Amino acid sequence: MKQKVVSIGDINVANDLPFVLFGGMNVLESRDLAMRICEHYVT
């Protein structure tokens, strides 16, 4: 079976490439929380 590579920005993700872990919020409880999380990632 041919492996599919998914490119996200300059990161390639595939079964035969090194492990990649994405982290972040799973549930946004309010707009205020969403904005605070976004500010953290931007700065």
What is residue 10's predicted lDDT score, i.e. its pLDDT?
93
- What is the distance between the alpha carbons of residues 11 and 30, in angstroms, rounded to a whole number? 30
- Residue whose C-alpha is closest to residue 10's, from 1, 20, 2: 20
| Domain edges within the chain | 6-42
Coil, strand or helix: which one is 23? coil
pTM of the entire predicted model? 0.48
Report the C-alpha gap between 16 and 35 in whole angstroms. 36
- Beta bridge mates, 6: 13
Nearest Cα residue to 11 out of 2, 22, 3 = 22
Convert the pLDDT of each residue in 24-43 to its tens digit. Answer: 767 767 889 888 888 888 87
